[in-house]
Amino acid sequence: MKLITDAMLRPLRDLRISVTDRCNLRCTYCMPSEVFDQQYAFLPRADLLSFEEIERLAGLFIRLGIQKIRLTGGEPLLRRGIEKLIEKLARLQDPSGKPIEITLTTNGVLLSSKARSLKDAGLSRISVSLDGLTQSTFRRMSDSDVSVNTVLDGIAVAQSAGFLSLKVNMVLKRGVNDHEITPMAEHFRNSGIILRFIEYMDVGTSNGWRMDEVVTAKEILERINQHYPLQAVEPGYPGEVAERWRYTDGGGEIGLIASVTRAFCGECTRARLSTDGKLYTCLFATGGADLREPLRRGADDQMLGKLIANYWQQRSDRYSQLRHTSTAGTLQKIEMSYIGG
């Protein structure tokens, strides 16, 4: 297979694989409890891609240009035996023989008990979602009685297990947790952890998104810069979504992910594989290509690879650039808990 680009000449470089649609939190911007309640019908186990199916599809994506795989959910640590999947993926190599980077995004609730086994399995990096430091803010954002210290302890265990390039992701909602911007910056300065602030996005159709609840990257930067001066850092690689900023006193680095106010569609290189094997080419997609059905019908690698390549080559997604047009606001988008964040 040869490397491919889409209709806007964007290469295929990153694959996000959702391994479960279930989660042990009910964050308001992702899985609001009034929608994802006890009656909500999650996918039956038979519908989920097996680890062997994920491994096979990942290998085909790699032959088309994928260099990094991120495991997401739902909450990926809820998938039983996730370490076995990581072991399989960590053995994969690109056509030149270079290992593929395997990363994972987690809410951190189970991280204390899993960090060492994840490292031993071959996981390269971890990103932890944490939207506040105080219990009251954490509860408001996660709609859960889980202690925020459970997540903080998980981060500490991950560091001691050898994850040296940890990232913490904070989604911001105005009037809910934006008062903790500076405390979060203070907490993670000089820790070796990169804190990334994420603008609240209109992913899916159930989170009640409003533009007036978005705390912009510009405002976040201004607030932190008042206390700890920052200077811009060049992107680490082409298509990096986070704008990088470094504390001028050497206290570390932060990132700003500004999908709403500074759309980066033009450099997006990400494909997404849902829990049940559908290929999506945008976080804000309304539909995807079913890979599970032909896979289970016995399609060979050439057929599956051609299906993936054709779907990517037709891609013209640029939702974030069109967000405020009349048509974009009426789309029935896939929920983030299903497609992966």
Give per-residue pLDDT as tens, 167-200: 999 999 999 999 999 999 999 999 999 999 999 9
Mean per-residue pLDDT over the chain, rounded:
91
Residues 244-292 have pLDDT tens digits of: 999 999 999 999 998 888 777 778 899 999 999 999 998 878 889 999 9
Sheet architecture: strand order including 125-129: 230-233, 243-247, 253-257, 194-199, 167-172, 125-129, 101-106, 68-72, 14-18, 270-273, 278-280, 289-290
How does residue 304 score in pLDDT terms, banded at 50, 70 and 90? very high
Q: Which of 140-154, 224-238, 286-300 has the lowest mean pLDDT?
A: 224-238
Residues 206-240 have pLDDT tens digits of: 666 788 899 999 999 999 999 999 999 988 777 67
What is the C-alpha separation between 7 and 283, in angstroms, rounded?
Answer: 17
Distance of CA 18 to the CA centre of its chain: 9
What is the C-alpha separation between 135 and 141, in angstroms, rounded?
Answer: 10
Of 251, 195, 201, give the one whose Cα is nearest residue 221.
195
> 3-state class of 37 per DSSP?
coil
Is residue 326's pLDDT more than 50? no
Q: Would you state the structure tokens that stand for residue 300, as one six-digit string?
A: 């060979």
Residues 19-28 have pLDDT tens digits of: 999 999 999 8
The rounded percent of the chain whose pLDDT value lies above 70 is 92
Distance of CA 247 to the CA centre of its chain: 25
Of 212, 182, 175, 178, give the one whose Cα is nearest residue 198.
178
- For residue 42, what is the DSSP state? P
Distances (CA, A) of 325 to 121, 258, 303: 45, 18, 37
Q: What is the pLDDT of residue 204?
A: 60
Q: What is the pLDDT of residue 268?
A: 87
Helical H segments across the chain, by residue range: 51-63, 82-90, 111-121, 135-142, 148-160, 181-188, 217-227, 292-296, 301-313, 319-322, 336-339
The average pLDDT across 287-301 equals 96
How does residue 2 score in pLDDT terms, banded at 50, 70 and 90? confident
Of 113, 328, 292, 51, give the one whose Cα is nearest residue 203.
328
What is the C-alpha separation between 51 and 63, in angstroms, rounded?
Answer: 19
Q: With 0.85 as the threshold, say if the pTM is over it.
A: yes
Q: What is the pLDDT of residue 331?
A: 60
Q: Domains (ranges, CATH) in the chain?
A: 14-339 (3.20.20.70)
The average pLDDT across 84-104 equals 96
How does residue 330 score in pLDDT terms, banded at 50, 70 and 90? low
Distances (CA, A) of 54 to 22, 151, 168, 200: 18, 28, 26, 30
